[in-house]
Copies of this chain bind each other. A is one copy, B any other.
Amino acid sequence: MNAQPQLINKVDRSPAEKLWKMAASDMASVDQLILERMQSPVGLIPDLAKHLISAGGKRLRPLLTVATSQMCGYKGDKHHKLAAAVEFIHSATLLHDDVVDDSTLRRGKKPANLVWGNSPSILVGDFLFARAFNLMVETNSLEALNILANASSVIAEGEVRQLAALGNMQMDEVSYMQVISAKTAALFAASTEVSAVITFQSEEKRKALHGYGLKIGLAFQLVDDALDYSGFESKLGKSVGDDFREGKMTLPVIRAIEFSKHENHSFWHRVIVERKQNNEDFKKAVLLIQSSKSIESTMELARQYSLEAKELLNVFDPSPWRTTLEELASYIVDRAS
């Protein structure tokens, strides 16, 4: 299955692994394309791109494109190009995010900007983003291209919205859902919707595929935000507590603040708004979050989205692909437990 061992790093649990096995030859082609298209006579570009892309990413988004295309009975190779384009867009946003967020760990490694500096990360992100569009052009599908271009501008909007809300204790659940819909779920939704486009599905099925991607994207981000206060770095691939240190108002924090608004207001104000944090503050935040049970309620919400995602697949005929995509929806939540 591991045609490109230097690139492919298979996921660690069974439903995703099962999907990986089913999609092995497709994913080998996708990885081949990714390797080819990150090349450039300017050596720093493939070096930096490879550092990120080979660093154990789960290729979840391109896997979704491949698997949903297969579920829709697609015959051809456009899904490989779209899947590679999706991974390039995702990689570009990660490179830029690491600069924006001052990350210290990405996929268990030093992020590219800490190895090569911020400027190369910004520019290589731009390069990968442009290359994504070249790949899309080759599919001859303006509709698929438009879906991914839309997702890209929505991602940037979500990132700016999140940035503007940093350290804002007033941020509520509605704004939080807007942020994660945009910065994370939009690309999941696009990565599954394009499969409906290249297989000429009905409007109903296209909406179902869009919704499936969107909801597992929401579940994915909710779990990620919960893990930031409860996970292990080895599982997360990034530093636990990063969101806290940046003053990000994620759901566990929003709910914990709401739960003990009066008693702990000055603590939250200091660490989130003033961003004055000492070494003990993260532990205290985790304790407050635990007593508010906001990890549990965040995970519960993720589980709900995952269930809704599964149900959306009912409009498709039963098939091994559909079954595994359903299992994948659960896996996205279960990976945390």
Spell out A's residues near B (CB within 8 Å). Answer: 40-42, 44-45, 92-93, 96, 99-100, 118-120, 122-127, 129-131, 133-134, 137, 140, 142, 145-146, 149-150, 152-153, 155-157, 159-161, 163-164
The answer to whether B130 and A153 touch across the interface, beta carbons within 8 angstroms, is yes
* Cβ–Cβ < 8 Å partners of A99 in chain B: 118-119, 122
Known contacts A145-B145, A160-B44, A160-B123; is-contact A153 B131 (Cβ 8 Å): yes
Given known contacts A100-B118, A125-B126, A126-B155, what 9 new A-B pairs fall within 8 Å (CB)? A42-B160, A42-B164, A96-B123, A123-B156, A123-B163, A127-B157, A134-B146, A134-B153, A145-B145
22 sampled A-B residue pairs with Cβ under 8 A: A42-B160, A42-B164, A44-B160, A45-B156, A45-B157, A92-B126, A93-B126, A96-B122, A99-B118, A99-B122, A100-B123, A120-B163, A123-B163, A126-B129, A126-B155, A126-B156, A126-B159, A129-B152, A130-B155, A133-B149, A133-B152, A137-B145
Q: How far is the CA of A146 from the CA of B145 in the complex (A)?
A: 11
Distance to closest chain B CB from A29 (angstroms):
21
The answer to whether B120 and A137 touch across the interface, beta carbons within 8 angstroms, is no
Total copies of this chain within the assembly: 2
Interface centre among A118, A126, A159 (most CB of B within 10 A): A126
The answer to whether A42 and B161 touch across the interface, beta carbons within 8 angstroms, is yes
Distance to closest chain B CB from A170 (angstroms):
16
Q: How far is the CA of A160 from the CA of B42 in the complex (A)?
A: 7
Q: How far is the CA of A124 from the CA of B131 in the complex (A)?
A: 19
Q: How far is the CA of A93 from the CA of B130 in the complex (A)?
A: 12
The answer to whether A146 and B137 touch across the interface, beta carbons within 8 angstroms, is yes
Q: How far is the CA of A155 from the CA of B133 in the complex (A)?
A: 14
Distance to closest chain B CB from A239 (angstroms):
19
* Cβ–Cβ < 8 Å partners of A44 in chain B: 160, 163-164
* Cβ–Cβ < 8 Å partners of A41 in chain B: 157
